[in-house]
Amino acid sequence: MPVPDYQTMMLPLLRRFAEGRTRVVDCLPALREQFAITDEEAAELLPSSGNVTLISNRANWARTYMGKAGLLKSPKRGYHEVTDLGLKFLETNPAEISNKVLEQFSGFTEWRQAGTKPDANDGASIVAVALAAEQTPEVVMEAGYKTLTTALTDDLLSVLRDMNPIRFERLILDLLTAMGYGKGDLSNSHMTKGSGDGGIDGIIYEDALGLDAVYIQAKRYAPENKVSRPAIQQFIGSLNGEGATKGVFVTTSDFSAEAKGFLGKVQHRVVLINGQELARLMIRYDIGVRARTTYVIKSVDEDYFGEVGLG
């Protein structure tokens, strides 16, 4: 089954600690067995981190929240024990442990309320929001990031559709160059003339002699005006006329199913980039956007705190 949320993990985790386990990582096999978590599910990574598994993240937050409630204590780094309060609570044979259940413990409520005070630091505020949403702070931040990115995507597309056509074509060349085409050198690209361009808006040369090139077509269309198959056929014809085999067709709208299907019938290597993908690429490669605020998620540096010889 999918990895359960951190609240579902609380009671099983507390019981594992009561049995004598002292580290979260030592509890994970038992949690996997109890919740029938497959190897693939156990390997799932937290979206905001490239090396932290979802199951480990949620188990650690479950441990943190129970620690704030006083059910667990950590006499040293990475080592956890059930407190007398935790043992007494287990003796009541609870059906579950959740944030609501933890509210009966003063330590938890005081910690939770600290995050809602006007002078609360950013970390405490994020925790307060996460608790209200019954999610881990990482999930809350990830959801917030996705919401902001979606709004930015819409804003970018609005700007692009109102942009001067020539400026739009230049932007596409800037983007492809930032992505590494033309060896990342803007001088290896150029725009074609505004008229009589044969359906080609720009060219990026992949080698110094211009023997290998990527030909570009860029269309600013309204969302409802999809690029049709005839437009793709015309673009392929323009590539034939130039003796070219590679092309990129970019639009601020989308492509019809017939247009996409037509590419399977030709030998040319043509990439279609619709409005949503265009905006995502601009955000990824910092074209037309700038960083406003940066949040860095840090964790304990295990190497720094490792055992150091004294001799």
Least confident of 130-144, 168-182, 229-243: 130-144
Per-residue pLDDT, 48? 62
State the CATH class of domain 160-284.
Answer: alpha beta
Question: How far apart are alpha carbons 220 and 251 in whole angstroms?
Answer: 6
Buried b (16+ CB within 10 A) or exposed e, 31-52: bbeebebeeebbeeebeeeeee
Residue 65, class by beta-carbon neighbours within 10 Å (0-12 exposed, 13-18 middle, 19+ buried)? buried
pLDDT tens, position by position, 264-283: 888 889 999 999 999 999 99
Per-residue pLDDT, 244? 86
- What 3-state DSSP class applies to 28? helix
Per-residue pLDDT, 89? 96
Name every residue whose Cβ is closer than 8 Å to that of residue 68 and which is 6 or more positions away in sequence.
102, 107, 108, 111, 112
* 196 has pLDDT over 80: no
Q: What is the DSSP letter of 164?
A: -
Question: How far apart are alpha carbons 136 and 245 in whole angstroms?
Answer: 49
Distance of CA 305 to the CA centre of its chain: 30
Other CB atoms within 10 A of residue 98 CB: 16
Position 11: which residue type?
L
Name beta bridge partners: 202.
Answer: 191, 216
Q: How confident is the model at residue 85 (pLDDT cuts 50, 70, 90)?
A: very high
Least confident of 73-87, 88-102, 181-195, 281-295: 181-195
Q: How confident is the model at residue 126 (pLDDT cuts 50, 70, 90)?
A: low
Percentage of residues in the chain having pLDDT higher than 90? 50
* 49 has pLDDT over 70: no
- Decide if 245 contacts 276 (C-beta within 8 A): no
Q: Which of 158, 140, 175, 171 is nearest to 57 (CA)?
A: 140
Other CB atoms within 10 A of residue 237 CB: 11
Question: How far apart are alpha carbons 205 and 215 in whole angstroms?
Answer: 9
Q: How confident is the model at residue 151 (pLDDT cuts 50, 70, 90)?
A: confident
Whole-number average pLDDT of the chain: 84
Residue 130, class by beta-carbon neighbours within 10 Å (0-12 exposed, 13-18 middle, 19+ buried)? buried
Helix residue ranges per DSSP H, 103-199: 106-114, 122-133, 137-161, 165-178
Beta-sheet pairing, 189-191 with 269-273? unpaired
Per-residue pLDDT, 310? 44
* 309 has pLDDT over 90: no
Q: Which of 24, 29, 36, 124 is nearest to 66 (CA)?
A: 24
Domain boundaries, the chain: 6-135, 160-284
